[in-house]
């Protein structure tokens, strides 16, 4: 991708660049994990979210979905596969007898720890080698600002409907 190949409108060009960069980088990092013999990148994403946000209590499935980095169109099937593999488990939800929480197992923690060095090296190779620390901080700040604005808009559905 070259800047001159992007649309002339700077906002549309930014959109195209973000989408192409995101898709390409996710594919590259996922391929590196696969080449190392690991499960799909989505598995790492689930394991990290469970370990990071609630290692002992677990997360409700909708809480897990909300925190994932990778788009998941069928989290329930992914969770089923990961439960069968022994990396996460379902437990009854204490506050809702009909609900369940998902908890990372020791086996899941061990897998995530083995996967991280491969993913970290891949992230460094595909992103870190092309950006200075200052560039990375600036890019991160811009993207966080965009995401924060989008999150605010999602919290105001009635206001959106009136537009």
Q: Which residues pair with 130 in a beta bridge?
A: none
Place of tokens 């594919």: 27
Compute the distance between CA of residue 112 and CA of residue 106 in angstroms, rounded to an integer.
10
Q: Which residues pair with 88 in a beta bridge?
A: 104
Q: Over the chain (163 residues), what is each successive 10-residue block's mean pLDDT?
A: 82 91 94 96 94 86 82 82 96 86 95 97 96 95 88 64 53
pLDDT value, residue 157: 59
pLDDT value, residue 80: 93
Q: Say what the alpha-carbon torsion angle 127, 131, 136, 138 is, to the nearest 10 degrees.
A: -140
For residue 16, the Cα-to-chain-centroid distance in whole angstroms is 20
Is pTM beyond 0.85? Reply is no
């Amino acid at each position: 991708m070259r800047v001159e190949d992007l649309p002339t409108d700077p906002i549309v060009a930014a959109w195209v660049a973000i989408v192409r960069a995101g898709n390409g980088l996710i594919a590259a990092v996922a391929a590196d994990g696969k080449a190392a013999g690991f499960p799909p990148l989505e598995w790492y994403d689930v394991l990290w979210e469970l370990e990071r946000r609630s290692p002992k209590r677990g997360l409700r499935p909708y809480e897990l979905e909300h925190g994932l980095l990778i788009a998941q169109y069928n989290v329930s099937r992914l969770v089923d596969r990961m439960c069968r593999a022994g990396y996460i488990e379902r437990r009854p939800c204490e506050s809702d007898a009909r609900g369940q929480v998902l908890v990372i197992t020791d086996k899941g923690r061990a897998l995530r720890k083995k996967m991280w060095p491969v993913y970290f090296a891949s992230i460094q190779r595909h992103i870190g080698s092309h950006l200075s620390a200052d560039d990375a901080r600036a890019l991160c700040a811009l993207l966080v600002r965009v995401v924060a604005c989008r999150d605010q808009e999602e919290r105001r559905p009635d206001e959106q409907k009136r537009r």
